[in-house]
Chain A
Amino acid sequence: MGRFLARRALLTIPVLLGVSLFVFMMVHLLPGDPVTIMMFGASPTPKQVAALREQMGLNDPLHIQYLKFVSKAVRGDFGRSFRSKHLVINDIKDNIGPTLALTGAGMLVAMVVGFALGILAALRRNTWIDSGSMTLALAGVSMPSFWLGILLIYFFAVKLDWFPLTGNEGAIRLVLPAIALGWGYAAITARLIRANLIDVMGQEYILTARSKGLSRQSVIGRHAMKNAMIPVITIIGLQFGNMLAGAVIIEVLFARQGIGRLLVDAILQRDFPMVQAIVLVIAVFYVISNLLVDVSYAFFDPRIRYE
C-alpha cells in the first residue's frame, strides 16, 4: 500500500508542473503586451513601460520567468491584481470559503439524491418507481445548472417566496444554489448506482448469500452495496473537482461571493494575475481530489494495489 501511495503521489508532480506551465503561458499566449493590458486604456510613456516590464520580470528569458512563477506560486505569491492592486492571494483567501461551502453542499445534494434514486430504482427494477427515478435522472443530466437555478429562483424565491433570492449569509441561502449545482451530479450518481447494483445483484455470490438463508435486506446491505460502491467512489471524487468549477456559474447566477465569481470578473477585466491564480487553485484542488480518489479506490479494492 505504501509503495502504491508513493508512486501515485509522485505521478501527480509532472501533472502539476504541466498545469502550472499552462497557467504561466496564458499571459504569453495573449494577443498583445501584458503591460498594455495592465495599463488598461492609459497611455504610458515608453519609459514607464520599460520600468514596468523590468518590474514584472518580463525581460528575463522565458524559462527563468517560469521558474520564478512556480517558486512564487508554491509560496502563495501570485503578485498583485492588475485592477484592485490587492495581493491576489488575499482575495482568494477571502473568497474560497463560500465556494467550498457551496461545493460541499452541492456534493451533499448529489449524494443524498443520487443514492436514494439509484437504490430505489435498482431494487424496484422495471416498475414505475424505476422508470420514474430514471426519467428524473435523465432530466437532471440534461438540465444545465444555470437553467435549473433560474427555475428554482422563479418557483421557490419569486413565486412561493420560501427562500431569499440571492446573497451569501446563512445556510438558508445555500439551499437553492446547492440544489442547482448538485442535481445534475445526483442524476449521474443515480444512474451509476442503479447500473452497478443491478450488475452486482446478478452475481453468483449474491445467490449464494441468499441461498444460505440471509434476508434480502442483509444481502443488499452487507454484500451488494459494498461491491456496487467501488466505481461510485471514483465518480463522486471526480465530481468534487467538477463542482468546484461548476460553482463559477452558480455563484454568478445567485450573486454569491466566491472564487468563481472572482474568476469571471477577472476574465471580464482582463486581470491576469487573478485569472492565473484562480485557474491554478481550482486545477490543483482537482488534481489532489483525483489523487485521493485513486488512493481510496485502492483501499476499497485491494486488487488495484498490485497492478
Chain B
Amino acid sequence: MALEPDAAPAQRGATETITLSKPEKPLAEFWHRFSANRGALIGVFALLLVFVLAIAAPIVAPYAPEKQLTGKRLEAPGPKHIMGTDNFGRDVFSRVVYGARLTFAASLVAIVIAVGIGVPLGLTAGYTGKATDSVIMRSMDIMLAFPGILLALAVVAILGNGLVPVEIAVGVSLIPAYVRLVRASVLSAKENLYVDAARVNGCRAWRIATLHIFPNVATPILVLSTTAIGWAVVIAAEINFLNLGVQPPTAEWGADLAASRTYLRQGWWMGTFPGLAIMIVILAANLIGDGLQEALDPRMRGREVR
C-alpha cells in the first residue's frame, strides 16, 4: 500500500501510482527543518529563558515583588535596581520576574482548559457526525459570535475578579479554535483506509477515535497550542490591564502596565519592562508557531531547506 496518510480521497482512484517515500526518521527530519529556521530557534530560546526565570523567581529576584523600599520611589534603572523602582518603591525587575509566573500559569491553565474541553468535543463532532456534530458546531458558532476579548470579558463579568476567573475566561475563549481544528483534522483522517480496516475488524467507535484518529490530530494541536500561548498571554494581560483580573499589589505584567500610565512622565521604566516582557513572550510564541507550521506543512516537504 503506497498511499500517503493524508492524501485526499479523490486522488486515490485517480492516480494509482502515487509512491510515497516516508521519511526514515520523521522526528529527525522534523528537527532538521525546524532548526533550520533561525527565528523559531530564537523563539524557543526566549520562551525557555522566560520560563526558567519564572520558575526560579525566588532565587533570581533580588526583592520580594510586593516589598516597598522606603525612600526609593520611582528610582531610575541603575546598578541596584536594573529596571528601576515603581511609584511604591518596589523593584520593577522582581515584579517582572514574578509576573512571569502568573503569565505562564494563566496561559498554561487556559490552554489545558481549552484542550481538555475542545479536543474531546472536536473528536466527537468529527467522528460521530450528524446531529451531534451539528449541535456542537452550532454552539461553537455562537461562541465565535463573540469577537476576541468580548467572550473573556463576559466570563469575567459572571465570575468576578481574580486570577482563576481570568484563567477560565481565557480558556473558554480558546475552546472554539480547538474544536474547529480537531474536527477538521478528524474529518480528513477518517478517510484513511486503516480506519475502515479497524472498523471492519470490529473496533469500537471510541477506540478508533482515540487510537487511530487522535494521533493524526496531535500535531495540529501542538501547533495551535504554541500559537495559543501568544493569544492567552494577550487576553490575560488585557483583562488585567482593565483591572478586571488580579488585584493589587499582585505583580502581573498587564496590571503593572496599567499602573504605569499615570507615571509616564516621571518613570518610563515602570511600564516599559512589563510591556517588553509581554511582547517577547508573544513574539516567541509567534516565531515558534511559524516555525512549526513550516516544518510540519506537507506542502513544504520536498523543498530544499535553505
Contacts and interface: CB of A to CB of B under 8 A. Distances in A.
B146 interface: yes
Nearest to A150: B271
B142 A15 contact: yes
A150 B272 CA distance: 9
Interface in A17-45: 18-19, 21-23, 26, 29-31
A235 interface: no
B154 A279 contact: yes
B123 interface: no
For this complex, into which size category does the number of interface residues on chain B fall? 35 or more
B149 interface: yes
Contacts of A115: none
B255 to A, nearest CB: 11
Given A144-B238, A154-B264, A253-B261, A279 B150 contact: yes
A22 B241 contact: no
Contact of B275 (A147, A249, A286): A147
Given A144-B238, A268-B243, A150 B146 contact: no
Contact of A15 (B141, B153, B264, B268): B141
Interface residues of A, number: 48
B145 A287 contact: yes
What's the dominant secondary structure at chain B's contact region? helix
A46 to B, nearest CB: 25
A52 interface: no
B14 to A, nearest CB: 21
A268 B237 CA distance: 17
A281 B271 CA distance: 33
Given A19-B142, A150-B257, A150-B261, A241 B147 contact: yes
25 contacts: A15-B138, A15-B145, A18-B138, A18-B141, A18-B142, A21-B142, A22-B154, A142-B283, A144-B234, A146-B238, A147-B275, A154-B264, A245-B147, A245-B149, A245-B150, A248-B153, A249-B242, A252-B242, A264-B153, A267-B156, A267-B157, A268-B243, A275-B154, A279-B154, A282-B147
Contacts of A154: 264, 268
A253 to B, nearest CB: 7
Contact of A19 (B145, B148, B241, B258): B145
Contacts of B139: 18
Nearest to A147: B275
Interface in A139-174: 139, 141-144, 146-147, 150-151, 153-154, 158
A146 B279 contact: no
B282 interface: yes
Contact of A150 (B145, B242, B243, B260): B260
A143 B242 CA distance: 17
Nearest to A239: B147
A211 B287 CA distance: 39
Interface in A27-82: 29-31
A248 B147 CA distance: 12
B234 A18 contact: no
Interface string A244-277: 1110110011000000000110111010100100
B106 interface: no
A47 to B, nearest CB: 29
Interface in A191-216: none
A116 interface: no
A295 interface: no
Interface of A: 14-16, 18-19, 21-23, 26, 29-31, 138-139, 141-144, 146-147, 150-151, 153-154, 158, 241-242, 244-246, 248-249, 252-253, 263-264, 266-268, 270, 272, 275, 279, 282-283, 286-287, 290
A15 B278 CA distance: 34
Nearest to B274: A147
B257 A146 contact: yes
Contact of B282 (A18, A144, A272, A283): A144
A253 B258 CA distance: 8
B230 A142 contact: yes
B114 to A, nearest CB: 18
A150 B170 CA distance: 23
Contacts of A282: 146-147, 150
B94 interface: no
Contacts of A267: 153, 156-157, 244
A18 B145 contact: yes
Nearest to B146: A283
Given A150-B257, A249-B242, A264-B242, A158 B265 contact: yes
Nearest 7 CB-CB pairings of A with B: A18-B142, A142-B283, A245-B147, A241-B147, A147-B275, A245-B150, A142-B282
B158 A248 contact: no
Nearest to B138: A14
Interface in B245-287: 254, 257-258, 260-261, 264-265, 268, 271, 275, 278-279, 282-283, 286-287
Contacts of A142: 230, 279, 282-283, 286
A267 B244 CA distance: 8
A200 B294 CA distance: 20
Given A154-B264, A245-B148, A144 B278 contact: yes
Nearest to B139: A18
B146 A29 contact: no
A147 B265 CA distance: 16
Contacts of A253: 241, 261
Contacts of A283: 145-147, 150
